[in-house]
Structure formats: structure tokens, C-alpha cells
Amino acid sequence: MVSRALCLVPLMAALAFAQDPGATARKAVELLVAEKLNELTPMMTPEMQKDLPAANLAKILEQLKSYGALEKIEDPQVRKVGPNTMVVVPVEYANRTLNMRFLVNSSGLLAAFVMQPGAINWQSPSYSKPDTFTERAVTIGDDQWKLPGTLTVPKGAGPFPAVVLVHGSGPNDRDETVGASKVFKDLAEGLASKGIVVLRYEKRSRVYGPRVEAIKNYSIGDETVEDAVRACAVVRAQKEVDPNKVYVAGHALGGYAAPRIADEDGKLAGLIILAGNVRPLEDVVMDQLVYLGAEQSAIDQAKAVQAKVKKLEPGDEDSPPLMNNPPSYWLDLKTYNPAAKAKSLGIAMLILQGERDYQVPMKDFQLWKAELGGAKNVTLKSYPTLNHLFIAGDGKSMPAEYNKPGHVAEEVVNDIAAFVKK
């Protein structure tokens, strides 16, 4: 009788949370920080219980105590991974922010857990002049997808030029927090210090994760383009902004999508493309796996998925997801060439690239140059020491580098400001 009763505990946990993996992960965090390990353990699969025994959990608790007082548990970030769900729960302590990452299986049980460092005592970069600008909250849209944003406004009469920041892939926050860095907060404060209004906002997939997953025929329009166009409209409506001098600065996926954003908006003064890929996304992912030294079996499996993406045809929309996106996403991008689209726009562009970037490498920068290098209103520049986040370093760039505190290089901020204000 005792053993049967114990076996029912994970089942009861699964029934309570199976329909909401985000709630499962948040509950797990709450139990962990409250040191209620006897309640946390039954929420795990048997395999995870073996991998994470009580002794290991105790070590994690000691580590958490070293970070000072618990300040806040933020809302979960949810992403579907095949039949499972990846949930990231940011947890703020007095001395450090952590990203607690869980894999929740289809039965509602925790199948994996890893704790990654987040931003560590982030401080404004040296080029930020806080006494020269103010910030206020704005809302992007007024429908079911409305998003919270922050407008950074220079002090003075204006009207000022403006830049809308568009995120890379994944459920990014408005600061584009990656590890110990805040790429968009650096850019917002740096550019505002130089007389440029900046709008940054929470990404739709961060605010409405499960609802985004349910969008029929989901595409990059739903993920990125639509909200960026709406953000441009919000900026133009601000009294401090010159509506004829609004620019989009897209980072990574945001740079890849930037020509589409400009095409749909139809009023932009120009584009700033930061580490935007030209090659198809499935090819970029393959390059990253090879660069990071993935096992051959993983590379072979990714190659098979890559081939399936390339073979998709209209009518395949009901096929299983590939690389965490439905077939509709890949079909929408099948004929999209961002460099060719950019060339057709005829607007001013600044295309920037870190030469140490392994996520979007120099081969993509060369493709931008091949398509647009001869245009009078296009400037291309690469930086020898900068990585994918436009932060300086040395040697081979690897994911661990993102956990070191750093700021977007001042030279990048200066180049963007000069381009926008000339």
C-alpha cells in the first residue's frame, strides 16, 4: 500500500500541471528556493530523480544562498520542443540573476534541469549619460498581442530621429538580455545619450508563449515583423520624434527580418542590420553545430532535418514541426533572400558585423557585401574583436563568453548614431 501511494504522487503532480508547463516549472522553483525538497522530488521523472539526488539538490541550495536575498521570481518563458516543453524561469537574487531551465515532458513531469547565470549586477556602460535622457513606458498595439515597451528619450526640444530595436531569435526581453549582457539596454542608453529616441519592447513569444505556439500557419511575421511595424507606428506618434527619421535596428533574426519590416512599413528612413544572416536559417543552425564541435550523430541528425526543411512544399503545412518551428514557418521563408529584398528597397542601410561572431559568421557579411556593397547609400563595417553581441573579446568565441559581463562596444554605438544623424 505504501509503495502504491508513493507512485500516485508524481501522477497527481502531473494532473495538476500537465496543461501548463510554465506553472510546473515555476512551482518547482518555488519549492527549491523554499527548500521543500520532499515536495519537489516527486515532480521529477524517475530518471531525473536518479540524476539529481538529495545530496546534489543540497549543494544547489548552498550555491543559491551565496547569491544573497531572493528578490523576484519572474514569469516563465515557454517554448515547445517536440513532445516536451522547455521552460526558463529567471530568478533574481541580490547579487546575481539566474535562469533556471527545465524540460517538462508530455506527462507534466520535470525531465531535466540546468541552472545558468543571468545578468550579474548589470550597470550602465561608460558611454551612457543618464542625465541626458529620460525613460517612459509605452504599449505596442491594443489587441490580444499588445506588448509592453520602454521609450528612451533625449532631453531637449527635439524633434529627434528614432530607432526601433528588433530582437534576435527566442523569447527575448526588451533589453535583449543574453547571459550577463543587455544588448538593447546598452544601445538604448548609448544612442539616447547622443540625441536619438530609442524604443525597445518585450518580444511576443516572451509575453504570450503558449498562445504564440497555437497560431495557425505561424510565420516570422507573427514572431517578429508585425510587432516591429506596430512599434514603428508608436514611435512616429511621439511628440519628440521626427516621423520622417525613424529607423529599425535588427539584431540577428531581427536583422534577417529587417528588409521585410521595412517593406511592410513603407516609411522607414533606413535600416541598421546587426549580425543579420543572409543564408537560410536552417543552414546557419548547421554551421553553429559544426563550430561548437557537436557529436557526429547530432550533426547527421541535424542534416536530415535540414534536408526535410528544404524539401517542404505548399501543402505540407500539417507535417510535424522541424527545428522547433512548424512547416508554415519554413515555407514562408523558402523564397526569402534578405539581401535581395534589401537591395530592392532603395533606402539607406548600415550593416555591421563582429568578426568573432560564430552564430552569424563573416560568410553572411560577405553575402551582404556582394549584394549591396556597390550601393551609395549602404555602409558595411566589421569589427575584428567583437562577438555576436558586439562585445569585445579575444580568441575563439564560445557560448561561455556570454556569461561574462560586458557591453556593446562604444564604437558600434558611435557608428549607429553617426549613420542616423547624418
Taking only the tens place, the pLDDT of each residue in 30-44 is 999 999 999 999 999
Task: Say what the pTM is.
Answer: 0.76
**pLDDT tens digits, 36-91:** 999 999 999 999 998 888 888 888 888 888 778 898 999 898 888 778 888 999 99
Q: Indicate whether 224 pLDDT > 60.
A: yes
pLDDT at 280: 97
What is the average pLDDT score of the chain? 90
Q: Indicate whether 183 pLDDT > 70.
A: yes
For every residue of the chain, which 3-state class applies, written as one string? CHHHHHHHHHHHHHHHHCCCHHHHHHHHHHHHHCCCHHHHHHHECHHHHHHCCHHHHHHHHHHHHCCCCEEEECCCEEEEECCEEEEEEEEEECCCEEEEEEEECCCCCEEEEEEEECCCCCCCCCCCCHHHEEEEEEEECCCCCCEEEEEEEECCCCCEEEEEEECCCCCCCCCCEECCEEHHHHHHHHHHCCCCEEEEECCHHHHCHHHHHCCCCCCHHHHHHHHHHHHHHHHHCCCCEEEEEEEEEEECHHHHHHHHHHHHHCCCCEEEEECCCCCCHHHHHHHHHHHCCCCHHHHHHHHHHHHHHHHCCCCCCCCCCECCECHHHHHHHCCCCHHHHHHHHCCEEEEEEECCCCCCCHHHHHHHHHHHCCCCCEEEEEECCECCCCCECCCCCCHHHHHCCCCCCHHHHHHHHHHHHC
Q: Indicate whether 12 pLDDT > 70.
A: no
Ordered structural domains, the chain, with CATH: 2-117 (3.10.450.590), 130-278+337-421 (3.40.50.1820)
pLDDT at 119: 54
Q: Indicate whether 128 pLDDT > 60.
A: yes
